A and B are shown apart, each in its own frame.
Chain A
Amino acid sequence: MPLSTSEPAAGALFVLAATVLLLFLLAVAFAVLVLALRLRNAREARRLGRLEERWKPLLLEVFANEASVADLLASVAPGEQIHFTELVLRYWRQLRGRERLALGELARPHLSLFAARARHRREHQRARAVQVLGTLGLPHYEGEVLAALDDPSPLVAMVAARSLTRTGRLEYLDPVLGRLARFAGWRRTYLAGMLARTGSDAAPALRAVLANPEQELAVRVVAADALLQLSDPASAEVAAEIARTESNRDLLVSCLRLLGKVGTGIHRSAALGLVASPEFAVRSQAMRALGVLGRPEDQPILEEALEDPSPWVALEAARGLGALGGTGTLQALARGDGPRASLAREVLAG
């Protein structure tokens, strides 16, 4: 009991005093370490700053055709290559056209260093290397970037997939689609955005994935979302067929959303078949699609849906009514003070 005696045991007191001393030394050591870290960081920042000051004027001269690529490369010492390439990468993101070509030439001699790093034991080193190779080194280093799709780290694989799809080259789409299941934990709209960057040429492959019941559901959903982003009219038929035959909620939602964007009147029945789905997310997308694809005689379905317990379904139904000419119903609703009056006012206000 350390504090309840007026005659302390010398041993216990010694332990406390030693603890104080130890902790004091620890605090001093921390402070020294932090200061050393600050000095090192400041020194490194100064060094990098000096390098950039040396390279930037030359870089501008290269862009202005006042200096050659070789002139600038000659100013990069062996230990400075990595940092030089990082600088090039920064500029590459901000510039387009002829400047980008020049930047590609400037980076090329140093990319072999990154190719070696793509096999580094540390995940983040590999990811960074693949990022550099995927941005500045394609198609020359496509073997390394394609191999990174199978990297044990999902982060590295994702960096590779993003780099490949960013090129917009169709030949990279299949390898990425084939590994899409690896990214199951990622947000689907994000993956869809990545695939859509390949452009409308990717649509046939994406349609094939969407239509294939052997594919994983999550992959088919991503394909549907990518087709939505591409506004691919030819995918409406596939989406309608899925809406008629499949039952997975996420797949139905994506296909109905796709139908709502690219479908036509002939796909109306696909939406109609799902307006009574037990899932509110499916019902709301069915209402949305019906608003686009439906006919005036569908108005009673939409009117009934205004009372749906889900505000999302009611909102889409109100929008649908507005689109199908049911403004009379909406005006009557807007005049009242019922729970859905604000929906009607919003839709009527456009």
Chain B
Amino acid sequence: MDFVSALPALLGAFNILVLFYFVALNGVYLVTSLLAFGALRRHAARLSSFEVEDTLTTAGAPPITLLAPAYNEEATCVESTRSLLTLRYPDYLVLVVNDGSTDGTLERMTEAFELEETPLAPVAEIPTAPVRAVWRSRRHPNLWLVDKENGGKADALNAGINYCRTPLFCAMDADTLLEPDALSRIARVFVEDVETVAAGGIIRIVNGCSVRSGVVQRIGLPRSLLGRFQVLEYLRAFFAGRMGWDALDATLVISGAFGMFQRGVVVEVGGYATDTVGEDMELVVRLHRHCRERKIPYKVVYVPDPVAWTECPESLRILGRQRDRWQRGLIEAITRHSRMLFNPRYGRIGMLAFPYFFFLEMLGPVIEGLGYGAFALSVVTGRASTSYVVAFLAVAVVFGIALSIAAVGLEEMSFRRYPRYRDLLGLFWLAVLENLGYRQINAFWRLRGVVSKLRGVRGWGRMERKGFDVSGNRS
């Protein structure tokens, strides 16, 4: 049978695969959204039953080290660090790791915080690029800076872990702004359950918000459409996605922008992997694997109320690079631990979360990309009915809209961070609008990430930061 005669059968089979992928993906989204609904209600009720900060502002709150790796962050490092120093938590250190910046990051930090070189010995031996010096602020005794040669974000975090002397550390990006009570809120899960080894909070987008003294003062949507799409995307990912997976006790991702870990366990597993761009997810997968294989009781959780604000890319070029990198990171984390796939030894992680990430997130872009091609070919060769194509696309679009609106509903039900009606209606409109190009281009970037991975592309790609709007006005 030659290719031409086999084409109809191949197209048919592929179309079934696409249909199956579509049903599975949206089915999972639906289930996680429903689970998130119940989990958020329970969470909100629990939070209303006692005062979080009152619980943790007394003696006995576990000491925490905030690790903020910085590479060429001169635009935002001072503002971000200042914000970290104003957190409401009784016992914490800020440890900025200058990862061989070639701009004025170290100079700006030294000047702003009166840093002076101070001897400090590492208490773990995770291999890293050489550390040049350790600095401490004269003005803020709880601010330290480790200056090291460039080795990448994971390497910088490992250097920070080596110098961390507290039982918990919080890994974040240098440009992340934490809300004043974020540490108390995320530390709560470690206080209430000693089995918790890692926890992630919610990441929100700071573009469009005004920031003063490192604190978000007024919340608004970004001006650019691209930024706004990402707001909706993050709401969906964190409320409908991570909350739902957490309800299943199968959290596999903690964002590198804001996560808290038990230092000892992370040292035990060897710290962050430096040979991947998905070091945040890879660490969480490795923690699961480590604890399951050794039968250590543990928990990895997502907590929806501690908030970290981060700047999102507002140009197609930079956003494309970010998504390309995220996809490569996902592939690296998943393929490195592929033995967990459908392996009952790893419980819900192996039987639920891992298959989802393997087939729907990792292979998804490939199926989706080829699906678009097959779709087009089916139409061109006259093997697809226009009515079917239109109806099928309509199902996909309307389902997507319904899920996005549900995610906005989860936000409204729980934290109500966008109090203006204009923003709420704007989010509804975005739920419709994102189907007209944004979702498709996202799928393309993810597919490009798969291709980049296959071509052996490494590295993060350059990210550009504009800095926060500190004028008190909306940007």
Contacts and interface: CB of A to CB of B under 8 A. Distances in A.
Contacts of B60: 187, 189-194, 196, 229
A31 interface: yes
B49 A23 contact: no
A187 B91 CA distance: 15
A123 interface: yes
Contact of B55 (A162, A191, A318): A162
Given A20-B398, A23-B399, A187-B190, A2 B122 contact: no
Contacts of B119: 342, 345-346, 348-349
B394 A20 contact: yes
Interface in B399-421: 399, 401-402, 405-406, 408-409, 412-413, 416, 421
B58 interface: yes
Contacts of A12: 388
Interface string B43-80: 00110111100110011111000000000000000000
B29 to A, nearest CB: 13
B382 A6 contact: yes
A34 B235 CA distance: 14
B394 to A, nearest CB: 4
Interface in A116-150: 122-128, 131
A189 to B, nearest CB: 5
B384 interface: yes
B190 to A, nearest CB: 7
A342 B428 contact: no
B49 A342 contact: no
Interface stretch (A35-43, A50-58, A68-76, A239-247): A35-43
Given A27-B401, A342-B120, A190 B61 contact: yes
A30 B409 contact: yes
B118 interface: yes
Interface in B371-411: 375, 378, 382-385, 387-389, 391-392, 394-395, 398-399, 401-402, 405-406, 408-409
Contacts of B122: 311, 342
A127 B15 contact: no
Interface in B9-68: 11-12, 15-16, 19, 45-46, 48-51, 54-55, 58-62
A1 B12 contact: yes
Contacts of A162: 55
Given A34-B412, A186-B191, A190-B61, A6 B383 contact: yes
Contacts of A345: 119, 121
A19 interface: yes
B45 A122 contact: yes
A124 B49 contact: yes
Nearest to A20: B394
Contacts of A17: 391
Contact of A34 (B12, B398, B409): B409
Given A20-B394, A30-B402, A197 B385 contact: no
Contacts of A193: 58-61
B472 interface: no
B88 to A, nearest CB: 13
Interface string A196-214: 1100000000000000000
B189 to A, nearest CB: 10
Interface residues of A, number: 62
A98 interface: no
Contacts of B55: 162
A3 B392 contact: yes
A124 B123 contact: no
Contacts of A35: 424
B192 A185 contact: yes
Contact of B46 (A13, A34, A37, A124): A124
Nearest to B12: A4
A19 B399 CA distance: 9
Contact of A2 (B15, B45, B428): B15
Interface in B184-200: 190-195
Given A312-B123, A346-B120, A34 B15 contact: no
A260 B92 CA distance: 23
Task: Give the most central of A187, A192, A345: most B CB within 10 Å.
Answer: A187
B111 interface: no
B395 A3 contact: no
Interface string A226-267: 000100000000000000000000000000000000000000
A128 B49 contact: yes
A348 B118 CA distance: 11
B384 A34 contact: no
Contacts of B382: 6
A91 interface: no
B124 interface: yes
Contact of A37 (B62, B192, B389, B412): B412
B426 interface: no
Which of B11, B49, B378: most chain A Cβ within 10 A? B49
Nearest to A183: B192
A142 to B, nearest CB: 19
Interface in B99-144: 118-125
Contacts of B51: 93, 131
A343 interface: yes
A272 interface: no
B344 interface: no
A37 B124 CA distance: 50
Contact of A31 (B15, B49, B405): B405
Most buried by B among A124, A162, A312: A124
21 contacts: A1-B15, A3-B383, A17-B391, A20-B398, A23-B398, A23-B402, A27-B398, A30-B402, A34-B405, A34-B424, A123-B45, A123-B49, A124-B46, A124-B48, A186-B191, A186-B194, A190-B191, A318-B121, A342-B121, A345-B121, A346-B119
A-B pairs, top 4 by smallest CB distance, nearest first, are A193-B60, A127-B49, A345-B119, A193-B59
Given A2-B19, A318-B121, 8 more contacts: A3-B388, A5-B388, A13-B391, A16-B394, A23-B401, A30-B406, A190-B191, A346-B119
